[in-house]
Amino acid sequence: MKSFVLFLITFLFINLLSAQPQKLDTLPMVHDPVIIRQDSTYYVFCTGWGISAFSSTDMKHWRQQSPVFAKAPEWATQAIPGFKGHIWAPDVSYHNGEYYLYYAVSAFGKNTSAIGVATNKTLDTTSKDFKWIDHGKVIQSVPNRDMWNAIDPNLIVDEKGTPWLTFGSFWNGIKLVKLNSNLLSVAQPEEWYSVAGRRRDFILPDSVAGDAAIEAPFIYKKDKYYYLFVSFDYCCRGEKSTYKMMVGRSENVYGPYVDRDGVPMNLGGGSLVLEGDKDWHGVGHNAIANFNGTDYLIFHGYDAHDNGRSKLRIEKLVWFNGWPFVAKGRMGI
């Protein structure tokens, strides 16, 4: 009875704080989006040739910009056989007076993957200082050597100012590694943690992604907790996509992360944040951003009313009893 009352209170709380539904037909087609604001302009970066980019002044009407890279980074073409320039899952943040853009290059379904990083003094394409400088590879995974996959990077700087990179997809799950203070390389001696994972069929060979469907980590600090958001199940299948967003929390950036029921994320735990419905399928690969004191959940979803096209979704994130919630199907701006 107590749990039912708590659920009812939570449900009413979320819906009272949520905005009324708004049309999403002005939002761009994206995959694996991340957002940041410079001055009065919002910028979204996402998976695409050379890394796709969009800008907006209201988070509703978007203008496509030129890709971050005009051609594939040379280091990536050497590291990943057959790589032509389709770059995955960027992550953007501002540190040390510059914007840092981490990105992944990979062979689909394999852990022949690597994460690189580029920097820019500004995101304003009209500025004389606008220029992306690529710093090359940060980390790489190799089939039959590593039981992790170097894609879906996300940078988090802890309360002590120490930078960490979380990443991962399938295999043995989500990893966390300490970076140097310049944010361009792994710190020495190396410090690694496994922060989330799902049970994998043990008879599969190491080179196979497997069925432990977890990826797209994003760590967000809120009050005394670090929140680890991940996506469970399968993306990239249009209306057949089963992606959904899950979360756990920890007082330490390196974990252990546990869900609302106290189940460790390393043992398959995770509390549901948002899943698909009859209108939007496979919602996932989220990021979190705070603008003017409001937290926003940024992610992609497959529009059931537009041939399953993958589009940008932005929802207001609300917190209750130390956990994030979002009202499904409601636009948060």
Any domain includes 59: yes
Q: Is residue 14 part of a domain?
A: no
Question: Of 32, 91, 303, 315, which residue is the catalytic one?
Answer: 32
pLDDT of residue 236: 87
User: Is 215 noted as a catalytic residue in this protein?
Assistant: yes
pTM above 0.85, yes or no: yes
Q: Which of 129, 158, 215, 251 is catalytic?
A: 215
The answer to whether residue 155 is domain-embedded is: yes
Would residue 142 count as lying in a domain? yes
Q: What is the CATH number of the domain that holds 44?
A: 2.115.10.20
Q: Is 125 inside a domain boundary?
A: yes
In this structure, which amino acid lies at residue 183? L
Give the total number of structural domains in the chain.
Answer: 1
Residue 306 sits in which domain range?
Answer: 29-325
Three-state SS string across the chain, please? CHHHHHHHHHHHHHHHHCCCCCCCCCCCECCCCEEEEECCEEEEEECEECCEEEEECCCCCCEECCCCCCCCCHHHHHHCCCCCCEEEEEEEEEECCEEEEEEEEECCCCCCEEEEEEEECCCCCCCCCCCCEEEEEEEEECCCCCCCCCCCCEEEECCCCCEEEEECECCCCEEEEEECCCCCCECCCCCEEEEECCCCCCCCCCCCCCCCCEEEEEEEEECCEEEEEEEECCCCCHHHCCCEEEEEEECCCCCCCECCCCCEHHHCCCEEEEECCCCEEEEEEEEEEEECCEEEEEEEEEECCCCCEEEEEEEEEEEECCEEECCCCCCCC
Give the pLDDT score at 327.
61
**CA 270 to CA 258: how far, in whole Å?**
7
Structure tokens at 202: 């043990």
Please state the residue numbers annotated as binding site: 32, 109, 149-152, 169-171
Annotated binding site for substrate: 32, 109, 149-152, 169-171
pLDDT value of position 20: 35
pLDDT along the chain (333 residues), means of 10: 40 37 61 97 98 95 96 94 94 97 93 97 97 98 94 97 97 96 97 95 80 95 98 89 95 98 97 94 96 96 92 95 77 43
> Would you say residue 56 lies in a domain?
yes
Task: For residue 44, tell me if it sits in a domain.
Answer: yes
Residue 4 placed within a domain:
no
Rounded distance between C-alpha atoms, residue 258 and residue 265, angstroms? 5
Q: What local confidence, expressed as pLDDT, does residue 26 receive?
A: 66
